[in-house]
Structure 1
Amino acid sequence: MTDFKAWAADDAARHIRIPDESDDKYSRGVLGVITGSDQYPGAAVLGVEAALRTGVGMVRYLGGERVSSLVLQRRPEAVASEGRVQAWLIGSGTDHANREDAAHALAAVAIAQALPTVLDGGALELHDGATGPVVITPHYGELARVLGVPKDDIVADPAVWAVRASEELGVTVLLKGHRSYVAGGGVALVAASAPNWLATAGAGDALAGILGALVATHTAEIASVETTLARLAASAAVIHGLAAHRASAGGPLTILDLAEAVPGTIAGLLRHG
């Protein structure tokens, strides 16, 4: 059985890139985002919100007119046009069964660019067409779908299945849950910072946005060190959970509350990391 290393706040703090005086919006990282749909437009809003609050120089959002409008209403600093990016976040709030929609057409172009990519939600099955480093972020039911096994099997031993999925699919896996298991690049990590209140709609969309931002700001390290994607994935899970605690203060929270708590959470990690 694989031994999982607990990944904590001090570990996450070492995986946050702090800008310096020579940085501009491009050198700080540009994240391309292809998420959301007419059925689930909020997934795009939440992912973009979380990514921007985690710390990137720019988010480029590509999607349908209605979803783009909602994203820009909430986050006018997002750029709704094509251009150079350092990493991609794809799939939150899209339908895995609908390969004919605009999001999947855009995603097919994106994954051919050999850039580090976070695949979530309806894009998990695109891992086999990706040409760059990939991290997938399924919950238990989604991983069962991708692997073609009963969900109960995943529930019974999520740690084992995270490792097995990474080995079978050839990607880094962030298996979401109260305890999030990360496997890839020869390492196995577990993050357990989330409060029970975080079991709410949209939580995974925010986690994907946080991870997308971390990936976009660490592309050089991803290219040179095989374990980096797994460490960033575990760090995203830690930041996500700690931000939820900060937003919750012991009670219910919404995911916009969580996103708003991310900058303060990161500041706290940097002070004490």
Structure 2
Amino acid sequence: MIEAFEKQTVRQAEAKVVAEHPHGALMKKAAGEVSDTTVEFLLARDAKVEETRILGLVGGGDNGGDCLYALSYLAKLGYPCLALLLSGKPHEKALAAAEKAEVTIERVDLAGSARQIARLAARRARAAQVWIDGLVGTGVNGKLREPLAQVAAELTHLYESRSSKVLRVAIDIPSGIFTDDGRLPGPFLGADVTVTMGGHKSSCLLPPAAYHFGKVRLVDLGLQMKEPRLARLEAGDVGALWPVPGPEDHKYTRGVVQVVAGSSAFPLTGVMCVEGAGRAGAGMVRYVGPEDAAFAILSRFPEAVSGVGKHQCLLVGPGIDPKDSSRVREAVNQVVQAATSGIPLVLDAGAINLYTEITSQIPGGTLNHRTVLTPHAGEAARLLSALGAGGGRGGVSRAEVEASPAAWVQYLADKTGATVLLKGAVTLIASAGGTMFSQAGAPYWTGTAGSGDVLAGITAAVLAQHQARAEQSGHQLSASRVSAAVASAAWVHAMAARKAAGLPFALSDPESAYSLGAPLVATDIARAIPQAIAHALEQI
């Protein structure tokens, strides 16, 4: 499991360890990891040593010191290295080491205008195949100051306009990404790989900042930190969480999912939910919908059963036409019954828009952690606005949710009492007072019609399986168990999409950093679910 912490938490823990390791030992260790990682990624690109020019963007303090030491190691390996000093106070010992290793040193005239300095940095960057970002570290808050803000903006524009991409290596954290909640308040310099020190910073797991860290490599400094409030499940964690049937299990003890989806206007919407749930290990999937839709779904997935029956998780929403009053009434009634009985609920798509109508009929008027809401940013914005968020500004917009998803998903969890899965390239799972999970790894091809329905089906299946075991033991599912189960569903969905796109499951492989995979459809994701689960179980 990847655990992430606020910057200040890491800095405080790091200060104690640094005090116990004098003479720059930890800085040299960190620089060695930066050097090794750079070489590893260059080898994956088949880059020739003597033809690969490396530019170090050197700021002051420890971050700049890490950069200078890393350049000295790379220069000793034969790489042509230039250190562009963008601080009047570079780390003296690290600078001496770089000079001794014959790194070319260029001191920037900081009395010049920010525009002049940025243009100089761009000229040097244009001639390099690698940029090592040692401008600023986690000690800075807010936005980048000038001239570094202009430098970051100029280099970002240069990177985006180049036909042959350079390798961007960030030290500890990409310069300009200073918030703990994933927001991007100003110019920043993104990375293809970030070598982070001591502990993962929360912004490396939270979008939109997380989209600009690239691959993240952790340098273990032996820090001692309290239990995090943000985490990411990996394969072994999912394997340990995933319910595996035993010799005495049968379809009813393995978890039954009931799917209420589709309507006359959208008759086949439920098929991806049904298939996602079935392939994720549910003992049985029941479909409740229009007769013609049921026939079509059973033709596609004959293992499903048509009609209402006992179940351990109810999935409601995809394809529920708000104009179809009888279908809406049926969906709301089923949700209220499930909520009253205490079994897990997954409210997806159309059901999210029925939130007010649903809660008005639930005893107490609130949901609990066993109800999972699965909005994308647009649906989250509509629900937030309905809940009164945004005050007199006319509610909350999709753009606002996308700019600060961590804050808004937590707001939804706190306000509704539900577990909330906010879909995106990085999917966030939040509950009131619990650990937030951030799951990623799916190729961008995953944003396709029906993909969310498959995810809803996987989520319902894993909850039904956990609920079945809870019923057998006489316990109720805890909030932490529900959140972790939902996060494991998001992991399976992402890995199934990787498999469908022709990508490896391994996320840290440098060679996969440059692989885009192939287009896919939701059916491809559903069919790859068993392989993703098998991979997780193999990692236990």
Q: TM-score range by the shorter chain?
A: over 0.9
Partner residue, 1:218: 466
1:137 aligns with 2:374: yes
Checking the alignment, whether the CA contact within 8 Å between 1:184 and 1:229 is kept in structure 2 is no
Within a 5 Å distance, the mapping from 1:1-273 to structure 2 comes to 3-95=229-321, 97-98=322-323, 100-113=325-338, 114=341, 115-124=343-352, 125-126=354-355, 128=359, 129-130=361-362, 133-148=370-385, 149-185=396-432, 186-219=434-467, 220-221=469-470, 223-249=476-502, 250-273=517-540
Of structures 1 and 2, the larger Rg is shown by: 2
The list of structure 1 runs, each at least 4 consecutive aligned residues, that deviate by more than 3 angstroms after superposition, is 129-132
Q: Which deviations, in whole Å up to 9, do the C-alpha atoms of 1:141-165 show, x marking residues without a partner? A: 0011111121111011111111010
Q: For 1:33 and 1:107, how far apart are their aligned partners in 2?
A: 13
Comparing 219-228 with 196-205, which one deviates more in the overlay? 219-228
Quote how far apart the aligned CAs of 1:92 are.
Answer: 1.4
Q: For 1:7 and 1:265, how far apart are their aligned partners in 2?
A: 14
Checking the alignment, whether the CA contact within 8 Å between 1:35 and 1:90 is kept in structure 2 is yes
Q: Which deviations, in whole Å up to 9, do the C-alpha atoms of 1:57-104 show, x marking residues without a partner? A: 111110011211111111112110221111101101223x43613254
Q: For 1:154 and 1:254, how far apart are their aligned partners in 2?
A: 26
Q: For 1:206 and 1:225, how far apart are their aligned partners in 2?
A: 24
Q: For 2:324 and 2:481, how far apart are their aligned partners in 1?
A: 31
Amino acid at match of 1:229: V
Partner residue, 2:108: none
Quote how far apart the aligned CAs of 1:109 are.
Answer: 2.9
Q: For 1:193 and 1:83, how far apart are their aligned partners in 2?
A: 36
Cα 1:213–1:179, aligned 2, differ >3 Å: closer, same or farther? same
How many residues end up aligned between the 2 structures? 272
Checking the alignment, whether the CA contact within 8 Å between 2:282 and 2:461 is kept in structure 1 is yes
Q: For 2:436 and 2:372, how far apart are their aligned partners in 1?
A: 13
Cα 1:69–1:272, aligned 2, differ >3 Å: closer, same or farther? same
Cα 1:232–1:99, aligned 2, differ >3 Å: closer, same or farther? farther
Checking the alignment, whether the CA contact within 8 Å between 2:317 and 2:348 is kept in structure 1 is yes
Q: For 1:156 and 1:201, how far apart are their aligned partners in 2?
A: 23
Quote how far apart the aligned CAs of 1:239 are.
Answer: 0.4
Q: For 1:181 and 1:106, how far apart are their aligned partners in 2?
A: 26
Checking the alignment, whether the CA contact within 8 Å between 1:4 and 1:189 is kept in structure 2 is yes
Q: Which deviations, in whole Å up to 9, do the C-alpha atoms of 1:202-244 show, x marking residues without a partner? A: 1100000000100100015582422112111111111001000
Cα 1:191–1:83, aligned 2, differ >3 Å: closer, same or farther? same
Checking the alignment, whether the CA contact within 8 Å between 2:466 and 2:477 is kept in structure 1 is no
Comparing 21-30 with 111-120, which one deviates more in the overlay? 111-120
Cα 1:156–1:43, aligned 2, differ >3 Å: closer, same or farther? same
Structure 1: gaps of 5 or more residues: none
Cα 1:146–1:161, aligned 2, differ >3 Å: closer, same or farther? same
Q: For 2:495 and 2:314, how far apart are their aligned partners in 1?
A: 24
Q: Which deviations, in whole Å up to 9, do the C-alpha atoms of 1:25-47 show, x marking residues without a partner? A: 10011111101223333320011
Amino acid at match of 1:120: D
Structure 2: gaps of 5 or more residues: 1-179, 182-228, 386-395, 503-516
Amino acid at match of 1:239: V
